[in-house]
Structure 1
Amino acid sequence: MPKSLEKTRKKIAKKKGNITALHENSRDSQRLRRAQNRDDKLLRVASARKKNDKPLVVRAAYFQESIRENDGKPLELSAIQELITTYVHQNDEEFGVLKKERRPGRPASTREDLLKIKIAADEKEYENGFYLPDLTDADNVVFLDRWEGDWSYLSTLKWVRISKSGVVAPSKFPPKGES
């Protein structure tokens, strides 16, 4: 959490004593406002970054769980493609339920539209090359099994793109807009 406001407040309190008795437009009050704005901006940027990073963290957690179900052993390409297909179509059931519940002639709900877009995007990514940790490499499988959910550890893993046709291409982390 940003601490520039606390540091600034402490410095002003050392100099002035009581900081509740500041003039509205004094230099010290302006310093406090700037520090507060800086802290707010850092929190906004951090939350936006966390929101952008969440899909890759969720994806890595899904494949980590599949590795754990396989007793921490590397997988064959056919098994990986089955896992990818399961991942891509994990929301199909909810999408079907939402579609059935909708009365005829009514527009789709926001949730239904979002699921449709997500499923289509995942299918397109799978056609071009699905981005995931390399599950065929034994060392990488061990590293993925040890992963505890933080973003910074994901860069230690080897990442690949696997297309629907079976082409495996090495990739870098983070994907930088290639997904």
Structure 2
Amino acid sequence: GYVIGSGWKDYQATGEICGIPLPAGLQQAAKLPEPIFTPSTKAAVGDHDINVSFEDTVNLIGEDKANQIKQISIQLYKMASAYALQRGIIIADTKFEFGVDANDEIVLIDEILSPDSSRYWPADSYRPGISPPSYDKQFIRDYLETLDWDKTPPAPQLPQEIIDKTRQKYQDVHDILLG
């Protein structure tokens, strides 16, 4: 993955992301030597998920399940990243949500690899040190940062222009990746 978003903020403050020490001197949007697994717990509706360490994850769900989820997550990310890069897209990061079924088996749930759960960057404009243009919800986040809003519900209504541009970004990445 890449050092961006809340991971970049954590790294700037601590030199770590989710308790994982990283090399000193990384720039915003720097590519990591290997993807890292950064678990979180599901927050209440309207709240942000809470980042936890791998050790916390082990304590919550057990070592076997934690290792299985970590392995699946990194494998899925690597496969999707390789596919996207062949098409000129960088998947900077993504999230996967897991649960357990009635037989206590790990199950991948919710949508995956969508512009709502992943950061998609055009590879030809990627440069470490800057937040690259994106084909994802970052466009809306950036717009909301320009407003005088304290981030408590309800969210401000989005102008039609922002909705249309976001829809176009989602359509563009879909077309690039899937044709």
The alignment's TM-score, normalised by the length of structure 1, stands at 0.27
Choose 1 or 2 for highest CA Rg.
Answer: 1
Q: Which has the higher helix share?
A: 1
Q: Which has the higher strand share?
A: 2
The alignment's TM-score, normalised by the length of structure 2, stands at 0.27
